Amino acid sequence: MEKLVITPTPHIHDNITIEKIMLLVLIALAPATIMGVVMFGLRALLVILVTVGSSVGFEWLYQKFTKQEITIKDYSAAVTGLLLAFNLPPTVPLWLPVVGSFVAIVVAKQLFGGLGQNFINPALAGRAFLMAAYMPHMAGGFVEPLTGFFDFDVIAMATPLAPDGTWDFLSLLIGNHGGTIGETSAILLILGGLFLVYKRIITWHIPATFIATVAVLTFFLEPGWTLETPAFHVLAGGLMLGAFFMATDYSSSPVSPLGKIIMGIGCGFITVLIRLYGGYPEGVSYAILLMNCCVPLIDKFTKPKIFGAKPKEKKAKA
Amino acid sequence: MHPPHYKDTENAETVDILPKEGEEFVYPMLQHIGAPCDPLVEVGEKVLVGQKIGDTSAFLATPIHSTVSGVVERIEQTLMPNGLKANAVYVYSDGKMTESPELNKPHDYENMARDEIIEVIKQAGIVGLGGAGFPTHVKLKPPPGKNIDTIIVNAAECEPFLTTDHRVLLEETDKIFLGLTVVLSLFPGAKGIIGVETNKMDGIKKLEEFCEKPEYKGKISVARLHPKYPQGAEKQLIHAITGRQVPSGGLPADIGCVVNNVDTIISVHRAIFRGRPLMRKIVTVTGGAVKKPGNYKIRLGMTYKDMMEAIGGFKTEPAKMISGGPMMGAAMYTLEVPVTKLSSAFLALTAAEAVIPKEKNCIRCARCVDGCPIRLIPFELNQFSLHGERTKFRENHGMDCIECGSCSFSCPSKRHLVQSIRAQRREVLKERSS
């Protein structure tokens, strides 16, 4: 008994790890990834590979350069890379995702202290930068799906949310319409999101309130008061991707259930404002980024009441 | 929070381990929360089973009894399983187990005054046997003005590995009901509720059969609790059963409740109906390194070393030894410590079971927030603790932490949350007392 381990409590731990969480997110994104490649072909696959590869690469480089522990094996950089790729049109030049990865991983994540310290969603930070700096590539690269897997001569096609966009509900569900690589198949994103809820990686609060807010607001704000309007707004664009996979980013979302509900409602509200009255056809990512900045404030005002606090207050009033 | 149960010993009937000649029994004079006892015996003196060997006039204290017959060898400091030190009486057992003539005098509690009954309980050395060791007679005397309407018996046993409460539910059911009847007689109008988690269904069924008996019907009931950690913590148990919340910084009596561990109730039975003080503790001995895992009735004062010898020892060299459960028990570095009233389990883990996980960045996943029974934000308190921000620590209710370890258990980054919070709490307490 010479080599006894002595530690404070607890002596057992749950078998959940960061790696497992990130891996489950990757699994949840896999169906939509495959669908993106099926729809937009080899070109989309290349964009995905370059984005994920450069994200992981930048994480490795930064940590090597700053003499930190290398944490690429926790898959968090891969998740960020994949989410960034999901937000890119299929025909972007391949240097573009590399620039986006740099902004996402180095600027938004590592400069703020790495995993868990970023105040905004890194993938969305990368996308916002690309939108601002390379607008023509980001806004104009949308193409018609299923035009041949190896065919790089693609036909341009507007997204359903664009003023000249065309759509029908089945294509919105399946994903055979113009859009970014990962956002088009609402049904696969919902399935992936529900998988994460089932696995207790995320909770229902943000996605449910985000989507519900968009549905309710578009129903009342758009003329006609038809159910078609909210259904379209919920299924089109990046709402499912944003609600299930982006707004739920741990480090840039509130911790308490009430805080998460406020986050979801806020995201939905801003999304609708941008979509209906703003200059962009799509507002999900800016809505999330704006709400990310409100998280410290939300957290501050939604601290859970501690056990045993309530009766005391009542007594003081009586 | 729902840690795995690991209750492999739940079907292991309690085995009585008798002291042998030549074994050294160690009786720390502090086996409860409160003031330490003074030794009543001298070196060289003969003592008998059940003889009082330590007492004090302090209110918050209970006497200590010898559990063997033999000779007092020495009186000196000993280490206890919880890592603290206390003055102790060492008795060399003669193996005869000659009982004190004071023993085995039952009390007719129905014809005794309230204070007399409580005095018998005090003199029997009874403390809370759930691990905290709060003197039971003090609990039974709540401050005046508190109207107690619910007596809760704690048999939740939410801590993984532990199965002693489960065993007594099955093996000593009648004593639980008789003991609880005595306690209920102290609080006219109060009802008894036995709280059990539903991973002990055989125990619940047996209790519910007893509840149907005419003498208990309408007075004692069973609360089926969905297994959850830390439900056995006093305030959490009260909330689960009655829906009432003990105010922050308050006592169960503030909301009309008194909670006693199930084995404490059995000790009350033993003191009243059999006239015997608290002399044994049932200990779950388990873990990958133990040869014969099970539940053992151990005489207080027996060293863990003698206990392990008596029950077959180790299968492999243990890499980690824990007194208590895996969530709140203390790691031990020696077996030369006695079983005390506070002991509940002894775990001997193998190297594979005793891995220390590496701490990583907090990812703000809020699992610790969801798991905290007090609804604190452990990852924030962790930061305040590490940065020594004591004011913020207190403002965010760090002092309400019950140190159950749920946060550290559920953390995917394996951060030492409760560890840092505990350390900061000690600092604040130190500051307060100075």
CA–CA gap between residue A238 and residue A20 (Å, rounded): 26
**Is the residue at A3 inside a domain?**
no
Give the residue from chain A lying closest to B334, CA to CA.
Answer: A1
All residues of chain A having their beta carbon less than 8 Å from the beta carbon of residue B322 are 11
Give the residue from chain A lying closest to B351, CA to CA.
Answer: A5
User: So what's the pLDDT on residue A1?
Assistant: 56
Residue among A7, A113, A308 whose CB faces B250 most closely = A308
CA–CA gap between residue B262 and residue B386 (Å, rounded): 39
**Is the residue at A255 inside a domain?**
yes
Closest by Cα among A21, A280, A291, A41 to A147: A41
Q: Go through the domains of chain B in sequence order and give each one's CATH number.
A: 15-103+277-349 (no CATH), 109-273 (3.40.50.11540), 367-433 (no CATH)
B267 burial type by CB count under 10 A (0-12 exposed, 13-18 middle, 19+ buried): buried
User: So what's the pLDDT on residue A317?
Assistant: 41
User: So what's the pLDDT on residue A158?
Assistant: 77
**Is the residue at A4 inside a domain?**
no
Contact A76, A19 (CB under 8 A): no
For residue B233, the one-letter residue type is: A
User: So what's the pLDDT on residue B82?
Assistant: 85
Beta pairing, strands B345-349 & B280-286: parallel
CA distance A233 to chain B (A): 29
Contact B239 A17 (CB under 8 A): no
**Is the residue at A271 inside a domain?**
yes
A316 band by pLDDT with thresholds 50, 70 and 90: very low
CB-CB neighbours of A286 under 10 Å: 20
CA–CA gap between residue B362 and residue B425 (Å, rounded): 21
CA–CA gap between residue A252 and residue A232 (Å, rounded): 28
Q: Whole domain around residue A123: which residue ranges? A: 18-301
Average pLDDT over residues A28-43: 94
Average pLDDT over residues A22-46: 94
Decide if pLDDT at A270 tops 50: yes
**Is the residue at A277 inside a domain?**
yes
CA–CA gap between residue B86 and residue B398 (Å, rounded): 29
Contact B331 A6 (CB under 8 A): yes
pLDDT digit string (tens) for B124-151? Answer: 999 999 888 999 999 999 988 889 999 9
Structure tokens at A39: 């729809």
Residues lower than pLDDT 50 in chain B: none
**Is the residue at A309 inside a domain?**
no
Number of domains in chain A: 1
User: So what's the pLDDT on residue A154?
Assistant: 65
All residues of chain B having their beta carbon less than 8 Å from the beta carbon of residue A76 are 363
**Which has the higher per-residue pLDDT, B259 or A161?**
B259
CA–CA gap between residue A97 and residue A56 (Å, rounded): 12
Closest by Cα among B80, B161, B164 to B349: B161
CA–CA gap between residue A271 and residue A89 (Å, rounded): 20
In CATH, what number is assigned to the domain containing residue A130? 1.10.3430
B183 φ, ψ to 5°? Answer: -65, -40
**Is the residue at A182 inside a domain?**
yes
User: So what's the pLDDT on residue A200?
Assistant: 94
User: So what's the pLDDT on residue A169?
Assistant: 86
**Which has the higher per-residue pLDDT, A171 or A103?**
A103
Contact A11 B322 (CB under 8 A): yes
User: So what's the pLDDT on residue A4?
Assistant: 86
User: So what's the pLDDT on residue A69?
Assistant: 93
A177 band by pLDDT with thresholds 50, 70 and 90: confident
Residue among A1, A12, A309 whose CB faces B318 most closely = A1
pTM (predicted TM-score): 0.88
**Is the residue at A311 inside a domain?**
no
